[in-house]
Structure 1
Amino acid sequence: MDKVTIIGVDLAKRSFQVHGSSADGSVLFRKKLSRAQVVPFFAQQPVCIVAMEACATTHDWAREIGALGH
Structure 2
Amino acid sequence: MPVTVESSVDLGEQRDGPQSWFPRACRRDTAARAHTALFDHAHSCEQCTDDRDVCEIFRALYRLVRQEWR
TM range (shorter): under 0.3
Calculate the TM-score normalised by the size of structure 1. Answer: 0.25
| Bigger radius of gyration | 2
More helix by share: 2
Calculate the TM-score normalised by the size of structure 2. Answer: 0.25
